[in-house]
Amino acid sequence: MAKVFGRWPIGVCSWSFHEPLETVAHLMKELGVEHIHLAVGPALSGDSRKWMATVRSFGWTITSTMIGFGHEDYSTLETIRLTGGIVPDDHWDTDRELVARAVEVTRELKVPFLSFHAGFLDQRDPARARTFATRMKTLADCAQAAGVKLLLETGQETAEDLAAFLRSLNHPAVRVNFDPANMILYGKGKPVDAAKVLAPWISHIHVKDAKAAAVPGSWGTETPWGDGEVGGVAFLKALDAVGFNGALAIEREGGTGRMQDVRKALDRCVGAG
């Protein structure tokens, strides 16, 4: 089993490879990892029983499941602000049902966490902020009833704003999947500092790197782990210092050599500890 700092299991995000599950399983064997952050969208749009039987046959340790929302538009920072997560009113009923079904799949797979991008926390409009909090509580109550915790993805707001929201929500079924690259891609702060702020809620980590945008208000650029501005070793040491006790999953959403980039991230993380 691949571990970082001798205790954190490290695996991959299933969607990093853009391949069928059978191919992902083969690539994981090549990498020598058995932990996976698993996208469960296929179970919600097809034969869920067959899909879950296939997943179980691989013998993976699933550290978290993940879902995305079909209405999200990542073209620009502004489009994702408007369309991301559970923010759009026109999609709330569908999104609520999607999350509920994903929670059930997560429960059946005996996985502790379900992650997703909940959308931007916009405190400029108090009414919208209250609606967002109410929606999150509805989803968290559903997850808690199933013995599942929801992981909010970092990056779309500053660590301080997310921490303030989590304190206000104060729900035991809401935690954080910390993605250090997202802090840079969205221009929301330094990952090492953010990890210290969000330490009480961090339950899962994405190993992903990025460089900041040259023009403020535009997307940064994702890079292989260790080639960007996260500061890989310093970030891992910051997690160690705050007592992180969870799993790491390598995510690679850009580039043309994803397998090579995932292997590089694995080698660099394991070598760091």
Position 98, amino acid: L
Q: Which domains does the chain have, with CATH numbers?
A: 3-272 (3.20.20.150)
Task: Express each pLDDT in 155-176 by its tens digit.
Answer: 899 999 999 999 999 999 999 9
Task: Express each pLDDT in 201-228 by its tens digit.
Answer: 999 999 999 999 999 889 999 999 999 9
Where is 168: in which H helix or E strand? helix 159-169
Q: Are 82 and 88 in contact (CB under 8 A)?
A: yes
Global pTM exceeds 0.85 = yes
| Structure confidence at residue 273 (pLDDT) | 67
Residue (of 66, 60, 64, 63) closest to 31 by Cα position: 60
Q: Are 262 and 207 in contact (CB under 8 A)?
A: no
Q: Which contacts qualify for 225-229: CB closer than 8 Å, 24 or more apart?
A: 225/250, 225/261, 225/264, 225/265, 225/268, 225/269, 226/264, 226/265, 226/268, 228/181, 228/184, 229/184
Q: Are 204 and 178 in contact (CB under 8 A)?
A: yes
Residue (of 266, 237, 224) closest to 2 by Cα position: 266
Instruction: Please give the structure tokens belonging to residue 241.
Output: 């210092």
pLDDT band of residue 261 (cuts 50, 70, 90) is very high
